[in-house]
């Protein structure tokens, strides 16, 4: 069953044989209305289409994720020229789409990331800091630099709850804000660079309540929603606009083909990740089972030695602990049981 908010299923692409504009399918006397099909907002092509050319939608996303309202609300947006956009090398499934400035001249750099890679956080820091220094022109003073906020929407967890719980650390929320603070008192005296992360999986199966949670639900599941479902979700006007821009019926044939190719590549990537994870889990289980068997055989040998009065010396104990061969441990158990003595060299 397809969940409204959760990740059940990957929502395979619908067939390409559908009418444009009015969303009609078929020809002849009976005209059937095709269900509204929203494109996946996580896909590079769709993300750029929705947020890279529609300032009001991008401002709505940022204001909701950053909790900005009133004097701090972003009211104007400036898109980066292509030759000034921060580069993300080696990251096909990343998007840096917009730069916008609020009344205090703060710059915002937005990225959509669907796959965790080694060095990901370092790269986020690097690109955000590059955006901070990029405005300094030759001959200008450092006082001309203005704050930068890197905003990352991630389709994976960076700080999983179970790991934080195991380390006895506070959980990191769905939308987290990070900036430099003084270690002892916690003061925020260096606000020039800030990082904001929205970890989509942390929405879980719960129904969204806040505006930020509604955006998370849209990124995760909108491509599986029907028009009737959307009507009952309580989305804001700007969120409804974002969905309308992602309606596949508004795509040209060329745009839909580009989206289809990107979506298929994304699904292949997800299949590869899931397969790799499954292989890793099977290997881990096999290693765990083997370790459990070896541990049991060592315990049997030690118990037998202690019962028969032939306690292991420190050297013998080290040899038993280092042994990773089941057959050898079995021979040692048989040896002790029949001779009442342990001779590691005989194994």
| Phi and psi angles of residue 278, each rounded to the nearest 5 degrees, phi first | -65, -40
Q: Which two tokens stand for residue 83?
A: 């030759």
- Provide the whole-model pTM: 0.69
Q: Is 317 exposed, middle or buried (0-12, 13-18, 19+ CB in 10 A)?
A: middle
**What distances in angstroms separate CA 16 from CA 7, 251, 256, 257, 261, one per listed residue?**
23, 11, 8, 9, 12
In sequence order, what are the residues at sequence separation of 6 or more whose Cβ sits closer than 8 angstroms to the Cβ of residue 98?
51, 52, 58, 77, 79, 80, 108, 109, 110
Contact (CB, 8 A) for 42 and 226: no
**What distances in angstroms separate CA 298 from CA 303, 320, 344, one per listed residue?**
9, 7, 13
pLDDT at residue 159 in the model: 95
Long-range Cβ pairs for the range 286-295 (8 Å, 24+): 293/326, 294/323, 294/324, 294/326, 294/329
**Which of 197, 245, 222, 220 is closest to 53 using CA atoms?**
245
Contact (CB, 8 A) for 301 and 307: no
Q: Is 346 exposed, middle or buried (0-12, 13-18, 19+ CB in 10 A)?
A: exposed
**What radius of gyration do the chain's Cα atoms show?**
29
pLDDT at residue 35 in the model: 55
| Phi and psi angles of residue 251, each rounded to the nearest 5 degrees, phi first | -80, 145
Q: Calculate helix-pair angle for 237-245, 211-221, nearest 10 degrees.
A: 20
In order along its 347 residues, the chain shows pLDDT tens digits of 334 555 444 444 444 334 443 333 333 444 333 456 899 999 888 888 899 889 999 999 999 999 998 888 888 877 766 444 444 443 445 555 567 777 778 888 898 888 777 788 998 999 899 889 988 888 889 998 989 999 999 999 999 999 999 999 999 999 999 999 888 988 888 889 999 999 999 999 999 999 999 999 999 999 999 988 999 899 999 999 999 999 999 898 988 898 888 888 878 777 766 676 566 666 666 666 667 778 888 888 887 787 766 678 888 888 888 888 887 887 787 777 666 678 765 44
Q: Which two tokens stand for residue 24?
A: 């009609």
Euclidean distance between CA atoms 198 and 61, whole angstroms: 11
Q: 177 has which bridge partners? A: 196
Q: Is 237 exposed, middle or buried (0-12, 13-18, 19+ CB in 10 A)?
A: exposed
Contact (CB, 8 A) for 312 and 323: no
């Amino acid at each position: 069953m397809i969940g409204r908010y959760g990740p059940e299923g990957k929502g395979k692409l619908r067939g390409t044989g559908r009418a444009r504009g009015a969303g009609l399918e078929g020809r002849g006397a009976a005209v059937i209305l095709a269900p509204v099909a929203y494109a996946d907002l996580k896909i590079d092509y769709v993300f750029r289409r929705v947020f890279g050319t529609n300032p009001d939608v991008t401002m709505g996303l940022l204001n909701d994720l950053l909790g900005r309202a009133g004097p701090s609300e972003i009211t104007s947006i400036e898109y980066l020229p292509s030759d000034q956009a921060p580069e993300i090398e080696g990251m096909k499934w990343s998007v840096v789409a917009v730069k916008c400035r609020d009344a205090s001249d703060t710059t915002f750099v937005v990225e959509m990331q669907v796959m965790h890679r080694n060095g990901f956080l370092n790269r986020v820091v690097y690109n955000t800091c590059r955006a901070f220094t990029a405005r300094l022109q030759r001959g200008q003073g450092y006082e001309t630099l203005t704050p930068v906020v890197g905003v990352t929407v991630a389709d994976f967890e960076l700080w999983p709850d179970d790991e934080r719980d195991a380390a006895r650390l506070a959980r990191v929320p769905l939308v987290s804000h990070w900036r430099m603070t003084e270690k002892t008192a916690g003061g925020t005296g260096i606000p020039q660079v800030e990082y904001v992360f929205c970890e989509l999986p942390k929405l879980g199966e719960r129904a969204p309540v806040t505006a930020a949670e509604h955006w998370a639900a849209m990124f995760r599941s909108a491509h599986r929603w029907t028009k009737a479902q959307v009507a009952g979700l309580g989305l804001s006007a700007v969120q409804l606009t974002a969905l309308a821009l992602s309606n596949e019926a508004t795509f040209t044939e060329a745009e839909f083909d580009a989206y289809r190719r990107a979506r298929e590549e994304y699904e292949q990537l997800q299949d590869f990740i899931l397969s790799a994870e499954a292989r890793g889990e099977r290997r881990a289980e096999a290693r765990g089972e083997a370790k459990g068997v070896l541990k049991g055989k060592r315990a049997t040998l030690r118990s037998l030695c202690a019962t028969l009065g032939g306690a292991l010396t420190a050297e013998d104990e080290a040899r038993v602990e280092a042994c990773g061969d089941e057959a050898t441990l079995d021979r040692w158990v048989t040896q002790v049981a029949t001779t009442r003595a342990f001779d590691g060299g005989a194994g």
